[in-house]
Amino acid sequence: MRSGGTPLALGLALLGISGCDPVLEDRIAQLGPETPGVRPGPFHRPGQPCLACHGEGGRARPQLSVAGTVYRDPADTRPVDSAEVILIDATQARYTATTNCVGNFFVTPGDFAPVLPLWTTVRLGTFSIDMESAVHLNGDCASCHTDPLARASAGHVFLTDDPALIGTVPEARCN
Ligand code: HEC
Ligand code: HEC
């Protein structure tokens, strides 16, 4: 498995450098167009893999090193506003990003260019939840955290799965 993976990864990296990676282009096309009425920016495409377009091989600017979307609980896609996403990389460097009113957070390489693996905790007030394992793949949370929960997917990122607490998470509202 491991030795078979190397040439593919190398091939993709080379294609990425040449700027025409058909796998990536396909993946981006599958995400579809912008939601009508939402301008490309901090509030667009919640839940989508931001780095597909904003990562190293992508063309959208700014380039992002880490990005994702935080939701209230495992069963619901209500976003969580003002949650802290605490990131700790392999060198113990630490950076805290904050979600906006659609639950999105994003980090540019200028802010923080983590050395993988990356450990993460999401926090809001007294709520705190760790990702138990480290993120080895890249900083694109939705590359694993997509719905529905399945063998190849961790489901969306959520703040709490404690039924007693779910109802107390503040409702996010964009003005
Ligand atoms: C399908 C591709 C795609 C995805 C996925 C995507 N974006 Fe974008 N994003 C764009 C494009 C295109 C622009 C417009 C700027 C440009 O063309 O470089 C943009 C612009 C932005 C900007 C800059 C706005 C400005 O005024 O400078 C931010 C911030 C941003 N996106 C954040 C995100 C976040 C966070 C996510 C994930 C939740 C995300 N994007 C997902 C394509 C994408
Ligand atoms: C390589 C796949 C992968 C990536 C990338 C990834 N995660 Fe996870 N995440 C998982 C898996 C699997 C779990 C469940 C097991 C665990 O906690 O380790 C999880 C669990 C979590 C949890 C615990 C609650 C929940 O939502 O399940 C949080 C919080 C979390 N991840 C946040 C993040 C954030 C923030 C990012 C991006 C910086 C991220 N993850 C990137 C795979 C991933």
Tokens of 100: 């906006």
Q: Where are the beta strands (DSSP E) in the chain?
A: 66-73, 76-79, 84-88, 94-98, 104-107, 119-124, 127-130, 157-158
- Looking at residue 150, the DSSP 8-state letter turns out to be B
pLDDT at 54: 98
Average pLDDT value for residue range 61-71: 98
Mutate to test the pocket of ligand 1, among 27, 54, 146, 157 (most ligand atoms within 8 A of CB): 54
Residue with CA closest to ligand 2 atom 43: 144
Q: Supply the pLDDT for residue 3.
A: 45
**Ligand 1: which atom is nearest the Cα of residue 60?**
18
Q: Which candidate, 166, 167, 165, 142, places its Cα nearest to that of 155?
A: 142
153: buried, middle or exposed (CB in 10 Å: 19+, 13-18, 0-12)? middle
* Ligand 1: residue whose CA is nearest its atom 32: 42
Q: What is the dihedral of CA 94, 99, 100, 104, to 10 degrees?
A: 110
Q: Among 70, 84, 92, which Cα is nearest to 124's?
A: 84
- Closest ligand 2 atom to Cα of 87: 38
Question: What's the token pair of residue 29?
Answer: 């096309």
Distance 157 CA to ligand 2 centre (A): 6
* 5 has pLDDT over 60: no
Identify the architecture of domain 31-166 in CATH. Answer: Sandwich (2.60)
Q: pLDDT at residue 63 above 90?
A: yes
Please give the model's pTM, rounded to 2 decimal places.
0.91
Distance, CA of 152 to CA of 171 (rounded, Å): 30
Residue 134 token pair: 């480290």
Taking residues 88-106, report their average pLDDT: 98
- Residue among 157, 160, 162, 166 to mutate when testing ligand 2 (max atoms within 8 A of CB): 157
CA dihedral of residues 130, 131, 134, 137 (deg, nearest 10): -140
62: CA distance to ligand 1 center in Å?
7
The pLDDT of residue 15 is 46
Q: Is 122 helix (H, G, I), strand (E, B) or coil?
A: strand
Across the range 112-132, mean pLDDT stands at 97
